[in-house]
Structure 1
Amino acid sequence: MAGPLPLGDPAPADGRFPEDVRIDPLVPFSAYLHVPFCRVRCGYCDFNTYTSTELGGARQDQYADTLIREIALAREVLGATGVVRPMDTVFFGGGTPTLLPPGDLARMLRAAVDAFGIREGAEVTVEANPDTVTPEVVRTLVDAGVNRLSIGMQSAVPHVLAALDRTHRPENVSTAVQAARDAGLDVSLDLIYGAPGETLDDWRQSLESALDLGPDHISAYALIIEDGTKLARQIRRGEVPAPDDDLQADMYELADERLAAAGFDWYEVSNWAKGPGAGTNSVHASRHNLAYWRGSDWWGFGPGAHSHVAGLRWWNVKHPAAYAQRLSLDESPAAGREQPDLEARTLERVLLRSRLAEGLPIAEIAEPHRERVAELISDGLVDPASALRERRVRLTLRGRLMADAVVRALTE
């Protein structure tokens, strides 16, 4: 399960916004629908997810109806502001959304579309474990309006999957991709590198296997050890080695090299997409994730989900049982909320926008820190032409490897 929620201010039971919140109807609006169920908890995972023994009275077969209650509440809250925008993107994340019957996912999507509307050509994504994807599941999702499948491949090497506690069979990734392709879906593959015992050759094998499947998009994330996870405890006890920073850097460079050679363009530090179009303009870039990185508005539905609308942030109670109880009483499931000040918003904007290939406008950096751009250029972390001609901070390959250091330099 994820770490503790932020403190924030109390959230009202009716979910109404503060009177000073003003929604810009021109800012894109997205919906995130969280499905918190997993068959097995992966040792590295810090997401807000629950196996069947951890539900504490919450019922998986009633989850869709519960989340639809929150959609109805959101429609009421946004309606009171006078601004209800159609959705630009929808994302089913988890957990494992495809553990629910596909008909439940279709009902949740239909409820969101009925409540808010959806723009023509909107991106609608479902995350999936390879073992849960069948042609029948995919057909139901496509009929409901889903057009993108994000498959949790993680690795093609059995001992790496075992180190991550992933239970899917590597060969099922190919089956899932084929089912998605046959139905006309865009396909994204998620990979993780730096697992205990993983070598550079293991990572090369995973990259080549992923590319052989012909996806439209690949995400490659360095393994991060989160406090409170099984893997963190194993490392602390000396049972498995901690990730090697130098090896992870080598793995990232290999990924960038191989993906570029295969026609993929990086558009965010850990994400690559195929054309047409380049960088964030690629037709296969994740528009939903770009909405987060660009600071657009979104409503997160489900236990533990976070939302961001017009500068107001809030987060739901974590446990599915508490979430269901709140909504059964026609109360907002929000546990708390906040309105970050200018300093916090500036920090977040630098943190997120600097990771994008389109870069961060220097004008959006706080005045005292702009002079540090020259130092970052000198250190080989920021592209000099972009900074001098376009007045944007764009990371070099070395800068992507040290993105956190760039953020610190531009904010501290």
Structure 2
Amino acid sequence: MGAALPLGDPVPPDGSFPPGTTIDPGTAFGVYLHVPFCRVRCGYCDFNTYTSDELRGARQDQYADTLLREVALGREVLARTGALRPASTVFFGGGTPTLLPPGDLGRMLDGVRQAFGIADGAEVTVEANPDTVNDAVVAELAASGVTRVSIGMQSAVPHVLAALDRTHDPANVRTAVAAARAAGLDVSLDLIYGAPGESLSEWRASVETAIELAPDHISAYALIVEDGTKLARQIRRGEVPAPDDDLQADMYELVDDLLSAAGFEWYEVSNWARNDAQRSRHNLAYWQGTDWWGFGPGAHSHVGGVRFWNVKHPAAYAQRLAAGESPAAGREVPDATARGLENVLLRTRIREGLPVSELLGEGRHAVAALIADGLVDGPSALHGRVVLTRRGRLLADAVVRALTD
């Protein structure tokens, strides 16, 4: 059910921003819609998600109406600031959004359209479990305005999927991709590497299978052991091995080699696209620090330099909104030091990198040593930007420490 929420300042019942908040109406505005339902909890997952027996006091069939109350409240809050803007991206995440009927997802999207507007050419993404995607589902999603489906493939190897507690049929990934293509949708595939018992050759097979399906975009994430998860308990008890850092590094280099050879370009440490137009514009908003509002239980937002987050459980979320109150549990306004650190942390992850001019003195001095160590691209630095080499992508945390210490 996810990690604990951060501490923060209280949010007034009407959700108003702190006095003096300035929102630039020219900044892109993204909308995230959290659907916190899953059929089964995966052993590695610490997202704010719930299976049916964990919902207590919340009903999945009423969820769309509940979330739309928050969308309406968000419109009121932004209208008071004079910063209403059409959404340039909308992202349905979870959880498994496609556990809801397509009609509910369409109503939620209509609510965003009515509250804020949706910009021409906006990217509208729905995350999907392969077993929940068929011709009828994606046709209805496309008719509602969805442009992109992100399919949780994770692996093509059955025992690897089992180690991750993924229950979908690997064959249904191909079916889901074909259905999405037939509906005219762009396709992204999500992969995870480093699962217990996964070999390098099995990882190669999964990547090659993903490439064969000809998606527009592929994400590949290293398995991370999060405290409080089933996987963490299994490792602690010695039932399964912990991820091997060296093997995961080999797996990263392999996926980068295979995707590059297949015509994909990396644009963020864990993301590759056929071309710039196929990048995930919504996720780029996070890395570039623009504005987004996250609707749903446990969702986080960043608007006008203010960060705020909602209560976690769907029942508590619904109760707040039924009472006409903001579901926000807390907020903060990061100071200049925190914003600077976050800027380095996020923007070094993307292909365009970070302007050297935005580093403080010690950070600027560290660039030369990072180039010498093969972690930062020398020609890019000469042109004023810190761009990670592939070795730097593998050691991104160390690069950030060097640039911010």
**What's the counterpart of residue 33 of structure 1?**
33
Alignment of 1:408 onto 2:366: no
1-structure distance, mates of 2:2, 2:11: 21
Secondary structure of the residue aligned to 2:214 is coil
**What's the counterpart of residue 339 of structure 1?**
333
2-structure distance, mates of 1:185, 1:366: 43
Give the percent of matched residue pairs that are identical in Structure 1 and Structure 2: 74
How far is 1:367 from its partner? 2.3
1-structure distance, mates of 2:361, 2:331: 29
**What's the counterpart of residue 366 of structure 2?**
372
- After TM superposition, the structure 1 = structure 2 runs for residues 166-205 of structure 1, keeping only pairs within 5 Å, are 166-205=166-205
- After TM superposition, the structure 1 = structure 2 runs for residues 72-83 of structure 1, keeping only pairs within 5 Å, are 72-83=72-83
Please, which of 293, 298, 303 is the counterpart of residue 304 of structure 1? 298
Could you report, residue by residue, the CA deviation over 1:126-180 in whole angstroms, capped at 9, with x for unpaired residues?
0000000011110110010000000000000000000000000000000000000
Instruction: State the AA in 2 paired with 1:243.
Output: P
How far is 1:184 from its partner? 0.7
1-structure distance, mates of 2:320, 2:314: 10
2-structure distance, mates of 1:19, 1:212: 53
Could you report, residue by residue, the CA deviation over 1:13-62 in whole angstroms, capped at 9, with x for unpaired residues?
11011121010011100000000000000000010000000001100000
Instruction: State the AA in 2 paired with 1:102.
Output: P
2-structure distance, mates of 1:236, 1:365: 40
- After TM superposition, the structure 1 = structure 2 runs for residues 106-145 of structure 1, keeping only pairs within 5 Å, are 106-145=106-145
Alignment of 1:52 onto 2:52: yes
Secondary structure of the residue aligned to 2:278 is coil
Instruction: State the AA in 1 paired with 2:99.
Output: L
- After TM superposition, the structure 1 = structure 2 runs for residues 258-269 of structure 1, keeping only pairs within 5 Å, are 258-269=258-269
2-structure distance, mates of 1:245, 1:40: 28
How far is 1:368 from its partner? 2.5
**What's the counterpart of residue 149 of structure 2?**
149
Could you report, residue by residue, the CA deviation over 1:329-376 in whole angstroms, capped at 9, with x for unpaired residues?
000000000000001001111000000011110111122221000110
1-structure distance, mates of 2:342, 2:20: 21
Query: Any gaps of 5 or more consecutive residues in structure 1?
Result: 276-281
2-structure distance, mates of 1:167, 1:82: 46
2-structure distance, mates of 1:142, 1:57: 32
Secondary structure of the residue aligned to 1:30 is strand
2-structure distance, mates of 1:25, 1:405: 36
Could you report, residue by residue, the CA deviation over 1:284-335 in whole angstroms, capped at 9, with x for unpaired residues?
0000000110000000000000000010000000000000000000000000
Could you report, residue by residue, the CA deviation over 1:249-277 in whole angstroms, capped at 9, with x for unpaired residues?
000000000000000000000000002xx
Alignment of 1:229 onto 2:229: yes
2-structure distance, mates of 1:366, 1:314: 27
Instruction: State the AA in 1 paired with 2:184.
Output: G
Alignment of 1:253 onto 2:247: no
How far is 1:98 from its partner? 0.2
Alignment of 1:349 onto 2:349: no
How far is 1:397 from its partner? 0.7
Secondary structure of the residue aligned to 1:153 is strand
Instruction: State the AA in 1 paired with 2:70.
Output: E
**What's the counterpart of residue 399 of structure 1?**
392
Query: Any gaps of 5 or more consecutive residues in structure 2?
Result: none
**What's the counterpart of residue 311 of structure 2?**
317
